[in-house]
Structure 1
Amino acid sequence: DQGGYEQLQAEHTQGVREVLDQLAEHGLRVLRPEQWTPTQRRVLESRFAEEILPVLTPLAIEELSPRPLLPSLQLFVAALIAPAAPIADQDSPAAEAAGLADDNSRGGASGSPAGASDRSSAGGKRRQARSEAPAQSKVQQPIAKLVVVPVPTQCPRFLTLPGENEVCLARMEDVIAAGCGLLFPASSVKATAVFRITRDADVSVDAEDAEDLLREMEEAVLQRRRRAAVRLTISANAHERIKNWLKDWLGLREEEVYEIDGFQDAAALWELAAQPGFDKLRNADWPPQRPRDLIGWDDLWEAVEDHDVLLFHPYESFDPIVELLEQAAADPNVLAIKQTLYRTSGDSPVVRALQRAAQQGKEVTVLVELRARFDEARNISWARRLEDAGCHVIYGVAGLKTHAKALLIVRRQGSRIARYVHLSTGNYNERTARLYSDIGLLTCNRDIAADVAAFFNLLTGCSEAVGWRTLSIAPAGLKQRFLDLIDREIQVSTADKPGLIMAKVNSLQDPDMVRALYRASKAGVKVMLNVRGICCLRPGLKGYSENIEVRSIVDRYLEHARIFYFHNGGHEEVYLSSADWMRRNLERRLEILFPVPDPRHRRRLIDILHTFFADNQKARLLQPDGSYVPAPRKGPKVRAQEVFFRQAVAEVRQSEKAAAEFQPLMKPKD
């Protein structure tokens, strides 16, 4: 509703403003045009003329036919310009001197029209400006036209200004808006505004009817650039003519237009974070550590043969997964590799290892999910390169998006064949593995390996879903498995020994899951949920959800792991999954839920969950009315992510200390 839109706009503006205010306190200031000093303005004018003006391409968007395509999420400066002299007196001096306008002359990027009297109706048609001259004047005012200037994406977002004892910056869009007098020297600039368009990003391809899914996905990705606009953000107090023309041209409703006072692309804050000289404001470095289950092991094959390996990223390094694939590519005993790829990095060592393995003559089968949103183009490129290297590439399963994360390596081990499996909550992406919190499992467990092999046969169309030994697969039974686990917890719960469910997910939206958790609460089961994002369940409702607690943690790393715990009358079970409790995950995607067989790992995951629920620094508690409040800061300070990093460091240091204590004495040299 309109109130929600207004709240979103206000929170966006307030959030960015708080960040900028705090940076200013430490000597890093982003100045608005009205804050520029004369000296700073002269510097910007010189830089504008020499560095920026040559790369600008103004578009007379009202007059061009067909009108140019304005890309999604790019910044633009809109300007209303008119001939500098009235139509009746073309030889009169220009109404406005060329140069960087101050904020009072034409509004700058804030969009406030300074002296412009032409207000258009909602139709967006050009109207003759009303004269500001006295009534007796016969001079006709010129008709203003709308011009759009793309903000160059190859230029920096901020320009450095001279400042005393502080770093002062100007936003590129503000400089362009203020420099329109130089860009249009023969015109009078009536008003300017910064805007950005968001287009529908959905890529819809009927995989069942597609004769060539790869080619159709390529065409669909190209068509995304021309999809309909779904949102327009524009400078607060923008000139009505500019706002209405853009709104009507894009076919948007009033509630789809967001007036923003300040940054329209908060991603620009990343560039601020990279400013040199502010190390004291940056996070302390938390380098990934050697996984505790691999400490003391140099041979990955031997380690996984000996015991299951739990990997907790980014506190523990993702390198062992890359190393395992690289070793598999070079190992003559490796016969086959099968893997799913959903999101990878731009220069993926995982994909390079798969290419080398195929070139070495190994059987390499890769499911590349072409429909991974916003990664379609990258995955299309990788799919072609994998095919060229000799891999068997599958482009997904008709009607379903493959979101499961699975790796199977088949290796000759002496006289027998061994299968090594990696299952994970996160992607095979070494870059996001340093930013996202995920959990993976390396194992040679025969039951799990047999199920993973059957899963890949299912993907390649060589078998149908049958009885699984350990795994649960969506959409064939995973949702029902969750419901059965919840119902079992209800059955074993008693007044003396109430049941307990703990879950960590990104989103909770599936209606059946919500109803099942309500049933559990009413039966006396304690339900503890860590839901980072969307949560369609309301905790603390009398007679419904008094026994449910929901918290969200947003911290340095993106919480991405899915962990599920069921007390089960004391016979505790812990599961990991690629799936959230959302209808799309449980009904329209291929997902995997897998158990954690090793009691040590189950204990560790339970401790991880309890640490999340003890967080009193970054946690927010969901209230019955749908609002969130900070967790009470009672007792010792607990910041879950910091706890996990310090634990990872302590494990490595303890092992190094133990190794030093048992260093054998060698005979001294003569």
Structure 2
Amino acid sequence: MAKAELADQSVDLSAPQYYINREVSWLGFNERVLHEALDPRTPLLERLKFLAIYSANLDEFFMVRISGVMEQAEAGVHPETPDKLPPTRQLEIMRSHLLEKVALQHRTFERELRPALSKYGVHLQNYRDLTQEQIFFLRDYFEKRIFPVLTPLSVDPSHPFPRMSNLSLNLAVKVVDPETGIERFARVKVPSSLPRFVGMPEPLRTYQGKPCVWIGVPLEQVVAENLSYLFPGMTITEQSLFRITRDADFPVLEDEADDLLLAIEKEISKRRLEGFVCRVELESTMPDDLKAGLMRELKVSSDRVYEIDGLLNLADLFFFLSMPLPELKDKPWSAVVPPRLKPVLDLEDDGTESYSEHASNFFAALRDSDILVHHPYESFRTSVQEFIAQAANDPKVLAIKITLYRTSGDSPIVKALIAAAANRKQVVALVELKARFDEANNIEWAKKLEDAGVHVVYGIAGLKTHTKTALVVREEGDNIRRYVHIGTGNYNPKTSKLYTDLSLFSCQEELGADLSDLFNFLTGYSRQKAYRKLLVAPLTLRDRMEALIRREIDHAQSGGQGKIVAKMNSLVDGRIIRLLYEASQAGVEIDLVVRGICCLRPGVAGVSDNIRVISVIGQFLEHSRIFYFHNSGQPRYYIGSADWMTRNLDRRVEAIVPIEDPKLIKELQHILDVLQADNRQAWEMAPDGTFTQRRPRKGEEPRGTHATLMAYALKRDAVR
């Protein structure tokens, strides 16, 4: 009897102890982000950046994930998940974890990073520690810039407790009327339209009598110290800062929405004010009676309250990256022009827009062979942007079709699509309005595209279109040729500098035909279910991925080698995890690079002995997806937009593309090798779900993934 069959009889691979709860796993990921802020090897301003990322991540986690678990707990429902952890228990675990880690975060800032900033001439001061001249400046600033936009809202029988917007900073103020002795509660919103940190003008930019780089105070302190302007004649007895987080996960009933764009706009408005309060952050110095009254008015229990020692909303620490102290930041990275495109375009990534004269050469290069680009090491501007912009200006191009999931507010890609429409090309843009927290941005661009004559569609009801694909149709003599871009990242030039992603450019006939079918599926009434090369969710991707894993099991059970290497953002899907366990039992060697959530437990005896999991956290956000299957010595490589999550496999439109060119395969294998050899940014996962960061052994040089790949890109660029 085969090894796998014996194991299957003795081990129930569906047992909950073999699965990690999704929310708990995410907390572990964010803890690894926090560690970058704690690590003294990280440059000082980058440490502040990671504190800010940790806070911003938590905001979204509360708004979407924790709020959802709270609703489940209150409704008494228990959704069936592989780990079978009840919602009430999830909430207990998450709160216990967060009480510890949030306290550590603030302690690190207040006791370590804030004093460290002062050593380099950056002083975030308390208002009352400033000089008299600096206080005079802030009082004048308050009168001219802050006071006109403030609106104190009282709470009494004739003034109900005000509705407060999501993630807003507020002052809870208690005032006493000296004539009547009556106490009143008021709320003052700290204006989000003004900078969070108020710096001194150059003549007052001094600390202890010496010039400094920057000195200033948080905006809320300027408001708090000048409350008498808002309550003249009243005695202010108490004032404390607090911040609320609301549930922001409002599902849109697409089948019932006559106008999806209008429905999404309404959802955005609801998100600000109507979601229930799932978290209250408040200063630990807030008096008990003020805290009790606030909790009563907000209708929250103590398990939703987080008392903070120090500055609230550390996501605003991104501000300090603007300090002119390059020695305290990562060395800036300037992406190189992709080697295959450098001789074609004869340009550097310097912002020069020189599209039309290079268009024929760009497309000729793709006719010669496929091109694989690795961002941010290789330039997004001179590859993806150039591809779309040249297509927009090339008189031989007849049509451009593209999916837009997240893009920047000043997107050159969208501008190129508008230019293409002006050039009388047929342009189709599928704009995903349901990309959470980017809805407003996408609505704005959808309207501009429509106004420019672009055919804008919003995809398929019930599915998010997450695939990153573009199709260019070009007339070449008597023939029509299709050029494609299939990637792992969004068409967003800003995140392309921060996220690691892969782009495939090709004019393979089968890929062009597949993308034509995919766009017809997205924009029309096509029931296309078979594709030539693409693995498309929710149609073929799950079945094909499971078949590829099963094929490795068959090879291992037949006495051959079975091996899988998969890189992704998250691994959550229970069916895929169980299949990986079966593969491990059969002897398949499995290496997983999972940046974020991982619900699989590696290294469990008799279950996952042959599975190893690492996570890489560092200068760039690991976003690319790469899948490798040994296939008995005839390896199969794939890249694309989908993680091994149920939502990606079953509830989103995704595209995974095979990489078949031996030169491109070599590039993918190099990336995987570098990731697995990392001893600086890589974390190894234990069976209990905890992670331990790798460290160089004695005498061993640090091998950080991002530094290694930057050096590799520069070396290739120099050779060319």
2:701 aligned partner: 636
Report the Cα offset of residue 154 of structure 1.
2.9
- Of residues 139, 146, 163, the one that matches 1:52 is 146
2:103, 2:309 within 8 Å by CA — same for their partners in 1?
no
Q: How many residues are aligned here?
A: 599
Residue type of the alignment partner of 1:16: F
2:401 aligned partner: 338
1:68-119 superposed Cα distances (whole Å, 9 cap, x missing partner): 3322112112111112x374xxxxxxxxxxxxxxxxxxxxxxxxxxxxxxxx
Query: Separation in 2 of the partners of 1:330 and 1:289?
Result: 24
Q: Secondary structure at 2:655's aligned position in 1? A: strand
1:429 aligned partner: 492
Residue type of the alignment partner of 1:10: A
CA gap of 1:613–1:19, structure 2 versus 1, over 3 A, is: farther
Q: Secondary structure at 1:643's aligned position in 2? A: helix
1:245 aligned partner: 293
1:369-388 superposed Cα distances (whole Å, 9 cap, x missing partner): 11111111221222222222
1:605-624 superposed Cα distances (whole Å, 9 cap, x missing partner): 11101111211222222222
Q: Is the aligned partner of 1:75 residue 2:163?
A: no
CA gap of 1:471–1:40, structure 2 versus 1, over 3 A, is: same
- Of residues 241, 245, 248, the one that matches 1:194 is 241
CA gap of 1:37–1:452, structure 2 versus 1, over 3 A, is: same
Report the Cα offset of residue 438 of structure 1.
0.8
1:199, 1:230 within 8 Å by CA — same for their partners in 2?
yes
CA gap of 1:244–1:338, structure 2 versus 1, over 3 A, is: same
CA gap of 1:495–1:29, structure 2 versus 1, over 3 A, is: farther
Q: Is the aligned partner of 1:311 residue 2:373?
A: yes
Report the Cα offset of residue 243 of structure 1.
2.3
- Of residues 355, 360, 363, the one that matches 2:418 is 355
2:553 aligned partner: 490
- Of residues 237, 257, 265, the one that matches 2:313 is 265
2:196 aligned partner: 157
2:444 aligned partner: 381
Report the Cα offset of residue 221 of structure 1.
2.1
CA gap of 1:11–1:519, structure 2 versus 1, over 3 A, is: farther
Query: Separation in 2 of the partners of 1:273 and 1:225?
Result: 28
CA gap of 1:193–1:498, structure 2 versus 1, over 3 A, is: farther
Query: Separation in 2 of the partners of 1:442 and 1:495?
Result: 37
Unaligned runs of 5+ in 1: 88-141, 656-670
Query: Separation in 2 of the partners of 1:420 and 1:427?
Result: 18
Residue type of the alignment partner of 2:151: T
Query: Separation in 2 of the partners of 1:219 and 1:3?
Result: 35
Residue type of the alignment partner of 2:99: E
Q: Is the aligned partner of 1:289 residue 2:345?
A: no
- Of residues 564, 567, 575, the one that matches 2:638 is 575
Report the Cα offset of residue 34 of structure 1.
6.9
Aligned ranges 1:387-406 → 2 under 5 Å:
387-406=450-469
Q: Secondary structure at 1:233's aligned position in 2? A: strand
Q: Is the aligned partner of 1:148 residue 2:162?
A: no
Q: Tell me the TM-score normalised to structure 2 length.
A: 0.79
Q: Secondary structure at 1:290's aligned position in 2? A: coil
Aligned ranges 1:440-455 → 2 under 5 Å:
440-455=503-518
Return the structure number with greater helix share. Answer: 2
Report the Cα offset of residue 639 of structure 1.
1.1
Q: Is the aligned partner of 1:226 residue 2:291?
A: no
CA gap of 1:160–1:466, structure 2 versus 1, over 3 A, is: closer
Query: Separation in 2 of the partners of 1:563 and 1:14?
Result: 38
1:292, 1:648 within 8 Å by CA — same for their partners in 2?
no
1:301 aligned partner: 363
Query: Separation in 1 of the partners of 2:558 and 2:132?
Result: 75
Deviates more, 1:457-466 or 1:592-601: 457-466
1:113 aligned partner: none
Residue type of the alignment partner of 2:544: R
Query: Separation in 2 of the partners of 1:495 and 1:472?
Result: 27
- Of residues 75, 78, 100, the one that matches 1:7 is 100
Query: Separation in 2 of the partners of 1:65 and 1:86?
Result: 21
Q: Secondary structure at 1:285's aligned position in 2? A: coil
Query: Separation in 1 of the partners of 2:388 and 2:138?
Result: 52
1:5, 1:255 within 8 Å by CA — same for their partners in 2?
no
1:307-357 superposed Cα distances (whole Å, 9 cap, x missing partner): 111111111111122222222222221111111111111121111211222
Query: Separation in 1 of the partners of 2:622 and 2:158?
Result: 47
Query: Separation in 1 of the partners of 2:115 and 2:552?
Result: 50
Report the Cα offset of residue 587 of structure 1.
1.1
CA gap of 1:449–1:268, structure 2 versus 1, over 3 A, is: same
2:529, 2:540 within 8 Å by CA — same for their partners in 1?
no
2:107, 2:309 within 8 Å by CA — same for their partners in 1?
no
2:71 aligned partner: none
1:22-77 superposed Cα distances (whole Å, 9 cap, x missing partner): 32343323234575567765654554455433443222144564543322112112
Q: Tell me the TM-score normalised to structure 1 length.
A: 0.85
Q: Secondary structure at 1:515's aligned position in 2? A: helix
Query: Separation in 1 of the partners of 2:577 and 2:246?
Result: 32
Deviates more, 1:464-473 or 1:10-19: 10-19
1:417-457 superposed Cα distances (whole Å, 9 cap, x missing partner): 11000001111111111111111100011111111111111
Query: Separation in 2 of the partners of 1:632 and 1:336?
Result: 51
Query: Separation in 1 of the partners of 2:496 and 2:156?
Result: 47
Residue type of the alignment partner of 2:415: R
Residue type of the alignment partner of 2:260: L
Structure with higher Rg: it is 1
Residue type of the alignment partner of 1:301: F
- Of residues 585, 590, 593, the one that matches 1:527 is 590
Residue type of the alignment partner of 2:146: I
Query: Over aligned residue pairs, what C-alpha RMSD do you find?
Result: 2.2
Residue type of the alignment partner of 1:287: S
1:173 aligned partner: 220
Report the Cα offset of residue 477 of structure 1.
2.2
1:495, 1:524 within 8 Å by CA — same for their partners in 2?
no
1:336, 1:409 within 8 Å by CA — same for their partners in 2?
yes
Report the Cα offset of residue 163 of structure 1.
0.6
Q: Secondary structure at 1:421's aligned position in 2? A: strand
1:412 aligned partner: 475
- Of residues 616, 630, 647, the one that matches 1:553 is 616
Report the Cα offset of residue 291 of structure 1.
0.7
Query: Separation in 2 of the partners of 1:14 and 1:527?
Result: 39
* Structure with the larger RCO, 1 or 2 (CA within 8 Å, 6+ apart): 2
Report the Cα offset of residue 252 of structure 1.
2.3
Residue type of the alignment partner of 2:363: W
Report the Cα offset of residue 250 of structure 1.
2.5
Aligned ranges 1:55-134 → 2 under 5 Å:
55-62=149-156, 65=159, 67-83=161-177, 85=178, 87=180
Report the Cα offset of residue 522 of structure 1.
2.0
Report the Cα offset of residue 212 of structure 1.
1.8
CA gap of 1:40–1:538, structure 2 versus 1, over 3 A, is: farther
CA gap of 1:32–1:510, structure 2 versus 1, over 3 A, is: farther
Residue type of the alignment partner of 2:248: A
1:493, 1:569 within 8 Å by CA — same for their partners in 2?
no
2:529, 2:539 within 8 Å by CA — same for their partners in 1?
no
Residue type of the alignment partner of 1:195: F
Report the Cα offset of residue 520 of structure 1.
1.9
Query: Separation in 2 of the partners of 1:554 and 1:24?
Result: 28
